[in-house]
Amino acid sequence: MVSRVSEEKIRIVESTIELLKQYEIIGAADLHKVGSMMLQDLRRQLRGQIAVKCVKNTLMRIAMEKADLPGVEEFLNRIAGQNLFIFSNGNPFKLAMMLHRNKVKVFAKPGDIALSTIVIPAGNTGLSPGPILSKFGALGVRTRIEGGNIWVVNDTEVAKPGDVITPDLADILTRMGIRAAEMGLEIKAVYERGTIIPREELILDLDTYRDQLTKAYADAFQVALKAAYPTPQTVPALLALAAQNARQVALEAGYAAPETVRDLLAKAHAQALALEWLVKSKE
């Protein structure tokens, strides 16, 4: 029996070493609360792009050391607990963001943390009166009985982000078909050629970066315009601005040109009317 176990561990280590030779990036994702169906879906969706393997940390340590990879201790210290190892040759940030977005809504369990505000909507719950009424009451949800069913009187907030889901709330949400939790792989850290990138640096706020880039572009464009610095992006605006300034100078100087004649005549007409009014007012 001992020999069989040892042979199995040797086989796992050897197959892991082969993966370490094929791929430069190793991602460690938390296996806590991840179902087997989700892992099957992940493997199916990303077949050919990545390799996925469940390996104990002790065996991963042996495989990485046998592959003569640096920084093994630091990497394993960051990924304590059960892990799913993801092997890839792509961008580590793209890998982490892909896993972060690839989640499914599931029914919350007691002890789960609310990810967003949870609201019990007004209307027919489809539930029959019984002991569950006291659970609604404990959560501050006003109800009435109508047509043999429990009706919620008003939309009621029952949890804020970060709140712990109580057993009563989990029971009500499940019975009402409200999926208030998420299941998915959460990346802990990524190993790339001896460099360890922690989770907090891998998950990027793309909306914030997009806003910052948009503002930086707008600011740089304005600076280039003020400095009259010609680039493919600024030349059309610079020419338009130069034409506008030249036209304004021509108007101030009374210089007649096809572009200014209409405005000069209008200006002269206005001045003539003003002069006429002044003369008549003096008389």
Most confident of 8-22, 27-41, 226-240, 246-260: 8-22
Report how far residue 109's alpha carbon sits from residue 179's, in angstroms, rounded to the nearest whole number.
10
pLDDT score recorded for residue 54: 86
Contact 143, 153 (CB under 8 A): yes
Segment 48-63 shows an average pLDDT of 86
Residue 81 CA neighbour count, 13 Å, CB half: 13
pLDDT score recorded for residue 208: 78
Segment 84-99 shows an average pLDDT of 84
* pLDDT exceeds cutoff 80 at 42: no
Segment 203-218 shows an average pLDDT of 81
Among the listed residues 43, 69, 51, 44, the one whose alpha carbon sits nearest the alpha carbon of residue 15: 51
Token reading at 180: 């208030």
pLDDT score recorded for residue 33: 61
pLDDT score recorded for residue 246: 81
CB count in 10 Å sphere of residue 230: 11
Segment 91-120 shows an average pLDDT of 83
Confidence of residue 171 (pLDDT cuts 50, 70, 90): very high
Radius of gyration of the chain (CA): 34
pLDDT score recorded for residue 281: 78
Confidence of residue 41 (pLDDT cuts 50, 70, 90): low
Contact 17, 66 (CB under 8 A): yes
pLDDT per residue as tens digits for the range 216-272: 888 888 888 888 888 888 888 888 888 888 878 877 877 777 877 787 788 878 878
Each domain of the chain, given as residue ranges in start order, spans 2-102+185-204, 118-181, 209-282
Q: Report CA-CA distances (Å) from 121 to 45, 148, 177, 183, 269.
A: 35, 18, 12, 23, 69
Segment 195-211 shows an average pLDDT of 81
Confidence of residue 3 (pLDDT cuts 50, 70, 90): low
More confident residue, 43 or 179: 179
pLDDT score recorded for residue 2: 43
pLDDT score recorded for residue 63: 93
Residue 49 CA neighbour count, 13 Å, CB half: 12
Q: Three-state SS for 262? A: helix
Contacts of 44 (CB under 8 A, 6+ apart): none
* pLDDT exceeds cutoff 70 at 38: no
Tell me the CATH class for 118-181: alpha beta
Among the listed residues 68, 50, 71, 58, the one whose alpha carbon sits nearest the alpha carbon of residue 187: 50
Token reading at 268: 């002269």
Contact 164, 97 (CB under 8 A): no
pLDDT per residue as tens digits for the range 137-167: 999 999 999 989 999 999 999 999 989 999 9
Query: What residue ranges in the chain does DSSP mark as E strands?
Result: 25-30, 51-54, 83-88, 103-106, 118-120, 123-124, 143-146, 149-152, 156-159, 181-184, 186-192, 195-198
Among the listed residues 90, 99, 275, 96, the one whose alpha carbon sits nearest the alpha carbon of residue 184: 99
On whether the 2-102+185-204 domain is CATH 3.30.70.1730, my answer is yes
Among the listed residues 40, 65, 26, 60, the one whose alpha carbon sits nearest the alpha carbon of residue 197: 26
pLDDT score recorded for residue 1: 42
Contact 55, 10 (CB under 8 A): no
Q: What are phi and psi of 208, to 5 degrees?
A: -65, -45
* pLDDT exceeds cutoff 50 at 14: yes
